[in-house]
Structure 1
Amino acid sequence: MRHVHISQTRTGRRLEGIVEDKSRGMLDGANMYHFIEVRRTDGQSMKVRIDRRLWKSIEVGDRIVKESSDEL
């Protein structure tokens, strides 16, 4: 398991947890969107859209930390 500090998320909230799944899809039929499912430290899961470069750099099992002032 790697510890990854990220500065790119599409949510303004603080996020810390373990990556449980990675997915991608063409939701609008034209653009590829990249997502990770994160198990937060409070036990809840959330799906977060991230950019392609970050999606390619992380793996399931990585621990990620995103501060609320950072962007994804």
Structure 2
Amino acid sequence: MTTNENAWSGTVAKKSRALFDGSNLYRRLKVRLDDGTHLDVKVDRKLWSQLQVGDRVVKAAGGQPHRG
């Protein structure tokens, strides 16, 4: 998972959602960063619904991930 201070950009490699605790639905993206590494990111429902595998995602330091 990421912290809110990190800045990064990459493309969506995989989308997933699960009930890890049995009551809350978590939406996650596996993002392939520009340097080739992968990052798991928890996102809100609105962003998760907007994105497809291959879409670009950007996050500025201190901000939230958004479609880029």
TM-score (norm 1): 0.80
Give me the identity figure in percent.
40
TM-score (norm 2): 0.85
- Unaligned runs of at least 5 residues, structure 1: 1-9
Residue 18 (structure 1) aligned with residue 17 (structure 2): no
Structure 2 counterpart SS, 1:35: strand
Quick one: higher RCO (CA 8 Å, sep 6+), 1 or 2? 1
Equivalent residue for 1:71, pick from 45, 52, 64: 64
Structure 2 counterpart SS, 1:11: coil
Q: Cα RMSD between the aligned structures?
A: 1.3
2:22 aligns with 29
Give 1:69 deviation, angstroms: 2.2
Structure 2 counterpart SS, 1:54: helix
- Unaligned runs of at least 5 residues, structure 2: none
The size of the alignment, in residue pairs, is 63
Give 1:51 deviation, angstroms: 0.5
